[in-house]
Amino acid sequence: MKTIGLLGGMSWESSAGYYKVINEGVKESLGGLHSAKIVMYSVDFDQIEKLQHKGDWNGTSEILCAAAKNIERAGADFLLICTNTMHKVAPKIEGSITIPLIHIADATAETLIKMRVKTVGLLGTAFTMEQDFYKSRLKEKHDLSVLIPEKSDRAIVHNVIYKELCLGHCLTSSKAEYLRIIDALAEQGAEAVILGCTEIGMLIKQEDTHIRLLDTTYVHARKAVDLAI
């Protein structure tokens, strides 16, 4: 079994989800008392969040590149960044290590292609929804059409992530808003919706809507299981 490297803490709530899904996947595949071989480096998200909102992406990449190097030195065979937003600096992280980086957008796109989805809605932080580092990878590398919510709804999605989900709070009122926004994306032509922030799966489940959802935490973590065993 290969050793999975996890760069987490952004937030720790979603990183805990990675740990759970990966170990459940290994147990399901190998049975008995098997569990995953994991090296995790969990950063202080408060520091990262402040740099994000200042637009200091170089500052965030310095922290994450140093963490990635530690994960590699600890014996990981490949690396997952346990957050969608910080894939903005994935090229710098990838360039700082010699082990493979498993990109969350690639894992998500592979699943969408298997589902025969061509047009997909995207929910995430404002950085993920509005900037090109994530959408362009889906479009240019995987030939997917990507829809995002209107500006006021993007603000709702973003604020719920940082002010509620990253603090472990799942409010019924916020769930209703997210479901409304998901419905609006479907009305625009989305065949499925990417839960493109690793905390959103804490709030929204597939059973909450008839629209197909991709929880990126689950998809990314299961990709790690496939590569490890």
Distance CA 198, CA 100 (A): 21
The two three-digit tokens of residue 67, written as one number: 């963490």
Question: Is 83 a known active-site residue?
Answer: yes
- The size of the chain, in residues, is 229
Question: Is 166 a known active-site residue?
Answer: no
Residues 6+ positions from 38 with CB-CB distance below 8 Å: 3, 4, 5, 6, 19, 22
Helices then strands, counting H and E runs in the chain, come out as: 11, 7
Positive or negative: CA dihedral 171, 176, 180, 186: positive
Angle between helix 12-30 and helix 216-228 axes, rounded to 10 deg: 40
Catalytic residue among 60, 65, 83, 108: 83
| Strand ranges of the sheet holding 37-42, from the earlier edge strand across to the other edge | 37-42, 3-8, 78-81
Whether residue 195 contacts residue 174, with contact meaning beta carbons closer than 8 Å, is answered with no
Nearest to 9 by CA among 49, 38, 58: 49
Whether residue 123 contacts residue 190, with contact meaning beta carbons closer than 8 Å, is answered with no
The two three-digit tokens of residue 139, written as one number: 């479009």
Catalytic residue among 108, 197, 198, 216: 197
Residues forming the active site: 83, 197
